[in-house]
């Protein structure tokens, strides 16, 4: 066997899980409660973020599982018809990321026994799928040593929008992986700058690769009710008893993020490893960061999607997303104009954070 | 006879003329070449500016005549059906204001002999019709003394957007009228401020009241080819020969404004009088001056026409004109958003002058 085929064989027991939640309220009206960020073609490429995420993970050769809110399960199934119906897990109500990921782990283990799983958000932008997958393969290898493995994104700026992972020494038994000293919450800008200057910090993109048994084992110790609940639901998942089990146990599950439930306490005990992710990664939260990702046309206007004729007069840095009729912008710098079937938004790149305050 | 009935009797020989031209390109997309300013409901009151203008002049008891471009004659006839078809004069091509007003004078005189005419733009805003008409009656009386009478608008600010009329002594034989020393072109702001400080200056709103014979007499002396041309067209106006006469003479008429052709040279010779117009008057040229005329709603948003739901976040001074779907504006001060069936404009009140540069 060549090393390539060894890797391919190992990947057969890898199950990517995609938690698909979060509206993206600063991307209104592109995103809306009934059409959250992961369901939209954010970059105007012709595919939605969840379609891109599934396509990015499929070449790893595993069976993808998606966990999403019940109201979005049909739309998800429609957008990624290649994912089997039984692998679109519909949450009856939002119970935060630990319940979603643990239920997926429990279903995978109930079906297949212990496997390696990876959890990757449905709405992140990663242009280079090859580079991403190479890192995931390294993380899978590290996960086989019994660690909870996170992929740490190499920071490109001292952002205060993300939590950080503090890396320690390289791990002898896991090539390419490092010990994790600690997870830190989103820092203030000064702290973020100091962390970048010091080095050894990576962005926490919420990517975890871990054996289902290791994950559920930590959970049994740290959140036993939660572990028991997802095990009970998973046991009935592929049976007629699924709905009853969901109805009985789902509402009892503790609402907690995986970072607080597992990553932070396990890291403190030396059980978390980090694989650096040198690929380009974006968690596009608002129209300013979205515009940053794109290249303006020759007229200086950045366009996303099908945009009608635009005339920009004394309006440098204009971004136009969608629209149904010719548009003129006069004397407004860095304007962002979004038109969907339902509404029109006009803002500026500097004000884009406040879009979440729109009341319509 | 009481003085009121004397006035009424005198008004029976008064013929208001409404030159209806000018696109209003800074009011795009409300105004468009095929739907100029005078054809739009600029204030969102339910009537267009030309409808308001006709309604304002009708109570004077005279037969209104409108001179407009051939491409707008049908729309004018549709908007003011009470104006007889023979009184909607369609210019085959634009030849400036002197040709338009002189042709109207010549048609009136050919039909009725010497009469008093008054010329009033189709697209000015005058909220108080009563006050306006009282001033016109004074101007008609002054015109009977053989003067070219202009109505001078009392300046409310040192505007550099209008020409000014410099008033002289009161005229003994025309109560309420003053001699005119001179007409001045649009001044720079400093000059305008100095003129207001000095006093005796009024805005030139292009309102002229004059006997048809006096007007055509001045024209025969100052622009004899123009006078001969409009006389020839007018002689055939109510005959089958109208189109031939228009085709023969109209293209030969000198393109000149009435200010340059008549008002300035005749004023220099002492032949022009001014009646002060103390009524509120607006020549709304752009969205900034339009917004100034209107009162914001309780939420601070100024609305014109039928406007859908609006959410203004950190966007004080917002003006919204029309629209087809809910609109949010975030973080843009003094924004102006205009949506018509054909296009969307986004600008700010300070940039509103540059709307004319839109290229769509």
**Chain B residues in contact with A347 (beta carbon < 8 A):** 328-332
Query: Does A86 lie in the same domain as A22?
Result: yes
Same domain, A126 and A201: yes
Q: How far is B159 from chain A (nearest CA, A)?
A: 22
- Considering the domain architecture, whether residues A36 and A133 belong to the same structural domain is answered as yes
For the stretch B161-165, contacts whose Cβ atoms lie closer than 8 Å and that sit 24 or more positions apart, written own/partner, are B161/B186, B161/B283, B161/B285, B162/B186, B162/B203, B162/B204, B162/B205, B162/B283, B163/B203, B163/B204, B163/B259, B164/B192, B164/B195, B164/B201, B164/B202, B164/B203, B164/B204, B165/B201, B165/B202, B165/B203, B165/B204, B165/B274
Q: What does the pLDDT read at residue A204? A: 96
Residue B26 with chain A: CB contacts under 8 Å: none
Q: How far is CA A2 from CA A7, A9, A141, A189, in A?
A: 9, 11, 16, 47
From the list A219, A43, A222, the residue with the least C-alpha distance to A125 is A43
Q: For residues B148 and B171, what is the distance between their CA atoms, to the nearest angstrom?
A: 13
Residues B297 and B245 in one domain: no
Q: Looking at the predicted structure, is the pLDDT value of residue B5 above 60?
A: no
Q: Alpha-carbon distance A16 to A57, whole Å?
A: 7
Together in a domain, A203 and A221:
yes
User: Which of B258, B277, B296 marks a domain boundary?
Assistant: B277
Do A181 and A239 fall into the same domain?
A: yes
> How many whole angstroms separate alpha carbon B347 and alpha carbon B183?
35
What distance in Å separates residue B186's CA from the closest CA in chain A?
25
Residue A282 lies in a domain: no
E strand map for B14-94: 14-20, 65-69, 88-91
DSSP letter (8 states) at residue B187: P
DSSP letters, A326-352, are -EEEES-TTEEEEE-SS-EEEEEGGGG
Contact (CB<8Å) A327/B348: no
Q: Which residue of B has its CA nearest to A324?
A: B343
Query: Touching check for B316 and chain A: CB below 8 Å?
Result: no
B154 and B59 belong to one structural domain = yes
SS3 annotation, A251-284: HHCCCCCHHHHHHHHHHHCCCEEEEEECCCCECC
Which residue from B79, B31, B96, B62 is spatially nearest to B88, judged by alpha carbons?
A: B79
Q: Is B328 on the interface with A (CB under 8 A)?
A: yes
Q: Are B202 and B154 in contact (CB under 8 A)?
A: yes
Interface membership of B327 toward A (CB under 8 Å): yes
The reply to whether residue B359 touches residue A311, judged by beta carbons under 8 angstroms, is yes
**Measured between CB atoms, does A348 come within 8 Å of chain B?**
yes
Mean pLDDT of chain A: 94
Contact B355 A313 (CB under 8 A): yes
The verdict on residue B282 lying in a domain is no
**Total structural domains within chain A:** 2
Q: Is A309 part of the contact surface with chain B (CB cutoff 8 Å)?
A: yes
Are A109 and A13 in contact by the 8 Å Cβ rule? The answer is no
Whole-number pLDDT of residue B242: 96
Of A327, A344, A354, the CB nearest to B327: A344
Least confident window among A144-148, A332-336, B58-62, B111-115: B58-62
Q: In this predicted structure, what is the pLDDT of residue B8?
A: 46
What is the pLDDT, as a whole number, of residue A11?
82
Cβ–Cβ below 8 Å for A347 and B335: no
- Asked if B351's CB is within 8 angstroms of A330's CB, the reply is yes
User: Among A227, A258, A277, where does a domain finish?
Assistant: A277
Whether the pLDDT of residue B10 is over 60: the answer is no
| Nearest chain A Cα distance for residue B168, angstroms | 43
Chain A touched by B335 (CB under 8 Å): yes
Say whether residue A28 is in contact with chain B using an 8 A CB cutoff: yes
Which of B254, B277, B300 is the last residue before a domain boundary?
B277
A106-A109-A112-A117 Cα dihedral, nearest 10 degrees: 90
Give the CATH number for residue A49. 3.90.550.10
CA angle A289, A290, A294 (to 5 degrees): 115
Q: Which of B328, B331, B351 sits opposite A314 (nearest CB)?
A: B351
Interval B192-240: pLDDT, tens:
999 999 999 999 999 999 999 999 999 999 999 999 999 999 999 999 9
pLDDT-based confidence at residue A8 (cuts at 50, 70, 90): very low
Whole-prediction pTM: 0.89
DSSP state of B334: T
The predicted pLDDT at position A131 comes to: 95
Does residue A113 share a domain with residue A42? yes
Contacts of A288 in chain B (CB under 8 A): none
Residue of A nearest to B346 (CA): A329
- A317 and chain B in contact, CB less than 8 A: no
Task: Kindly give, in sequence order, each residue whose CB lies less than 8 Å from that of residue B43, ignoring residues fewer than 6 positions away.
Answer: B125, B290, B293, B294, B304
Indicate whether B187 and B296 sit together in one domain: no
Q: What is the mean pLDDT of residues A297-322?
A: 96
Decide if B343 and A351 are in contact by the 8 Å CB cutoff.
no
Asked if B168 and B253 count as a contact pair (C-beta separation under 8 A), the reply is no
Would you say residue A2 has pLDDT above 50? no
Residue A349 with chain B: CB contacts under 8 Å: none
Question: Average pLDDT of A343-351?
Answer: 97
Per CB-CB distance under 8 Å, the chain B contacts of A330 are: 345-348, 351-352, 354-355, 357-358
Tell whether B94 and B58 lie within a shared domain.
yes
- For residues B50-54, average pLDDT: 98
Residue B345 lies in a domain: yes
Does B10 or B100 have the greater pLDDT score? B100
What are the structure tokens assigned to A246, written together? Answer: 């969901």
Q: How far is CA A2 from the centre of its chain?
A: 32
Q: How far is A341 from chain B (nearest CA, A)?
A: 8
Cis amide bond preceding A85, omega within 30: no
- Cβ-count burial A234-264 (b if 16+ within 10 Å, e if not): bebbeeeeeeebbeebbeebeebebbbbbbb
DSSP symbol at A25: G
Q: Each residue of A96-111: pLDDT tens digit?
A: 999 999 999 999 999 9
Same domain flag for B296 and B198? no
B-chain CB neighbours of A329 within 8 Å are 345-347
Range of the domain at B301: 287-357
Q: What is the band of B1 on the pLDDT scale with cuts at 50, 70, 90?
A: very low
**A253 and A108 together in one domain:** yes
Report pLDDT for A6. 39
CA-CA distance, A90 to A257, in Å (whole number)? 18
Contact (CB<8Å) B351/A332: yes
Given this model, what pLDDT does residue A173 score? 95
How far is B327 from chain A, CA to nearest CA, in Å?
A: 5
The answer to whether B348 faces chain A, any CB pair under 8 Å, is: yes
In a domain, B169, yes or no: yes
pLDDT tens per residue across span B259-293: 999 999 999 999 999 999 999 999 999 999 999 99
CB contact under 8 A, B326 and A343: yes
Q: Does B173 map to a domain?
A: yes
User: CA A119 to CA A136: how far, in whole Å?
Assistant: 10
Does residue B6 surpass a pLDDT of 90? no
Residues of A in contact with B337 (CB under 8 A): 344, 346
State the nearest Cα–Cα gap between A69 and chain B, in angstroms.
Answer: 27
Residue B67 to chain A, least CA–CA distance (Å): 32
The SS3 of residue B15 is strand
Contacts (Cβ under 8 Å, ≥6 apart) of A221: none
Asked whether the beta carbons of residue B325 and residue A344 sit closer than 8 angstroms, the reply is yes
């Amino acid at each position: 066997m060549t090393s390539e085929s060894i890797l391919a064989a190992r990947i057969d027991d890898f199950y990517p899980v995609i938690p698909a939640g979060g509206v993206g309220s600063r991307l209104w009206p592109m995103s809306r409660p009934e059409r959250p960020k992961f369901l939209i073609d954010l970059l105007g490429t012709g595919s939605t973020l969840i379609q891109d995420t599934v396509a990015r993970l499929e070449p790893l050769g595993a069976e993808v599982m998606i966990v999403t809110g019940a109201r979005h399960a049909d739309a998800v199934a429609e957008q990624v018809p290649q994912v089997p119906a039984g692998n679109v897990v519909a949450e009856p109500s939002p119970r935060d990321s630990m319940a979603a990921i643990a239920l997926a782990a429990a279903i995978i283990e109930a079906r297949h026994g212990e496997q390696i799983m990876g959890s990757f958000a449905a709405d992140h932008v990663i242009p280079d799928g090859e580079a991403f997958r190479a890192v995931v393969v390294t993380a899978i290898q590290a996960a086989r040593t019994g660690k909870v493995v996170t992929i740490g994104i190499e920071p490109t700026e001292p952002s205060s929008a993300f939590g950080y992972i503090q890396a320690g020494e390289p791990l002898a038994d896991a090539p390419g992986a490092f010990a994790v000293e600690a997870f830190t919450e989103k820092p203030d800008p000064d702290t973020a700058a100091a962390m970048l200057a010091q080095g050894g910090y990576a962005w926490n993109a919420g990517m975890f690769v871990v054996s289902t048994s290791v994950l559920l084992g930590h959970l049994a110790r740290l959140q036993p009710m939660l572990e028991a609940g997802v095990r009970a639901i998973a046991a009935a998942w592929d049976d007629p008893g699924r709905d009853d089990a969901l109805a009985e146990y789902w509402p009892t599950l503790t609402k907690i993020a995986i970072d607080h439930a597992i990553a932070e306490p396990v890291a403190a005990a030396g059980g978390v490893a980090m694989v650096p992710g040198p690929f380009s990664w974006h968690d596009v939260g608002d129209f300013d960061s979205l515009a940053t990702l794109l290249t303006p046309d020759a007229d200086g206007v950045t366009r996303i999607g099908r945009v009608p004729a635009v005339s920009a007069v004394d309006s440098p840095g204009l971004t136009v997303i969608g629209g149904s009729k010719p548009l003129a912008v006069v004397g407004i710098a860095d304007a962002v104009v979004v038109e969907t079937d339902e509404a029109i938004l006009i803002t500026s790149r500097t004000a884009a954070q406040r879009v979440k305050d729109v009341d319509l």
